[in-house]
Structure 1
């Protein structure tokens, strides 16, 4: 079976971290090799850029964010994702380029131009799992799971309800094939459900997409 690039997308606190652990365990139980990674990040260079683009310290024009994310993404793809796939492992990435189209919509013209320049260095995911929650749930979960525990929020997490509402709407536009970020296989998953049901929905999709034994 050909190795696949599987991407988890969603607004803040949608459950990507817990879903990643569940997916890794599920695929391992099916005898599948898989590499787990994230964006921005995944390589030393990309992690260094992550620290800059998510920092509250810097206030820059939107185009700087776009170029920072795509610089990290190109290195991540070329240095980690492609070699892992060629080595016979699936790759599970928390976020990929759909995140830019969801989070950086305010610089749409520049974003599409940068995406077009970088596209030869990127891959189209084989499967995107969009964990869909409301902005109300996002803000509530961040307060309960991060703020209450003293975990500092990055500059995107700090933008609040209206920003999360817009990001979710952007994701839904992507799912309807209205932006260049739409993929061949995009699956919306109701992540407001109990976590066990969310993960079971994911496993069902993976079983079909990867043609795994039941």
Structure 2
């Protein structure tokens, strides 16, 4: 394959998606693919500065301000990292992308969907990930996993109702975009989750499964 692909990983905090990112990169590299791993918010110098602001526990940020900062970071991310990599034929694996904005700012913060759709169209047009892996866990389990972390950021410290709204939007988007978003039961063991990822990658991105 000469065409670059964008794979995004999504899920509530504590879903375990970040722990699988390195394995996905290595899986693709074994097939001779050049892989760029990145994250949102972040991925660029400006994006990382905005990330620090967005995750700062000491700040109170209006939901719409938060949304605009997320999309500002995404615009830089697309311009500096994602689009150049895809044009080179490289593959990009990103820890979160626009689905997270619909889930966290739309569901969690209850910013109106139409506002998110306008920003999505403005920032990325019709550009969408080639594949999205949605790591789904019950909110209670995600919170247990987060509870084991010594320090939590501004999102991780949110309460169960917030994450229930986030998860509900993720599930709705998986229903709306079944050709792109694949749900993985992330409450399974580490090896079972990896096996599910492998099956999805082989059947959706490669013409010769198990090659």
* Fold-level similarity (TM above 0.5): yes
* Residue 141 of structure 1: aligned partner: 145
Size of the aligned set, in residue pairs, is: 204
Bigger mean CA deviation after superposition, 65-74 or 48-57: 48-57
Superposed CA deviations along residues 47-104 of structure 1, whole A, max 9, x for unmatched, are 1111111212221221100100000001101110011111121100000000000001
Where in structure 2 are the equivalents of 1:147-166 lying within 5 Å?
A: 150=150, 152-166=151-165
Q: Are 1:118 and 2:123 matched, yes or no?
A: yes
Change (3 A) 1:212 1:199: farther
Say which SS state the counterpart of residue 159 (structure 1) adopts.
coil
In the superposition, the TM-score normalised over structure 2's length comes to 0.91
Separation of aligned partners in 2, 1:113 and 1:87: 29
Partner of 1:64: 65
Distance 1:83 1:183, change over 3 A: farther
User: Would the alpha carbon gap of residues 51 and 183 (structure 1) be closer, same or farther in structure 2, given more than 3 Å must change?
Assistant: farther
Q: CA deviation at 1:42?
A: 0.4
Instruction: After TM superposition, list the pairs within 5 Å mapping 1:31-46 onto structure 2.
Output: 31-46=32-47
**What CA RMSD, in Å, does the superposition of the two structures yield over aligned residues?**
1.5
Cα distance between partner residues in 1 of 2:96 and 2:79: 16
Q: Which residue of 2 aligns with 1:201?
A: 196
Query: Is 1:79 matched up with 2:80?
Result: yes
In 2, Cα distance between equivalents of 1:183 and 1:207: 17
Stretches of structure 1 that go unaligned for 5 or more consecutive residues are none
Residue aligned with 1:104, SS: helix
Q: Tell me the secondary structure at the aligned position of residue 51 of structure 1.
A: helix
The alpha-carbon deviation at position 160 of structure 1 amounts to: 2.2
How far residue 161 of structure 1 moved from its aligned partner, in angstroms, is 1.6
- Alpha-carbon distance, 1:142 to partner: 0.8
Alpha-carbon deviation of 1:162?
1.7
SS of alignment partner, residue 66 of structure 2 = helix
TM-score, normalised to structure 1, is: 0.90
Please, which runs of 5 or more residues in structure 2 have no aligned partner? none
